[in-house]
Amino acid sequence: MAQTVVATGATAISASTLVYSRATAGIYSALIDLTPMSADTVLNIKVANCTIVASGLKVVTQDNFTGVQTDPMYLIPAQHSNKGFSITIVKSSGTTPTVPWEITTF
């Protein structure tokens, strides 16, 4: 199965920032580089997709990160989506980082 990079970027994270969204069926994976986080930064990463009933995007996984990351590469494992996929990062406190990211499909 071939892996294709479909989008890359570096996004400044404010209160709630939509990093990526696509309303297309597929198998998606993502890599987010949390290296730019400062000691006072608190982020929540939410991954959503439009699932079986196609009733809109639903959060399927979320993780919280605080401070400088000793292992800064956050991998979102490949997941199937019938109708769409999105990543939102919420900064609840601290310095605003600009995080690099890459989205791939299979």
pLDDT tens digit sequence for 42-87: 999 999 987 666 567 788 899 999 999 999 999 999 998 888 899 9
**Residue 46 to residues 1, 7, 10, 20: CA-CA distances in angstroms?**
26, 18, 17, 11
- Give the model's pLDDT for residue 77: 93
Q: What is the pLDDT at residue 91?
A: 96
- Please give the model's pTM, rounded to 2 decimal places: 0.89
CA distances from 30 to 39, 41, 74, 76, 105 (A): 24, 21, 8, 5, 9
**How many CA atoms, within 13 angstroms, populate the side-chain half-sphere of residue 68?**
3
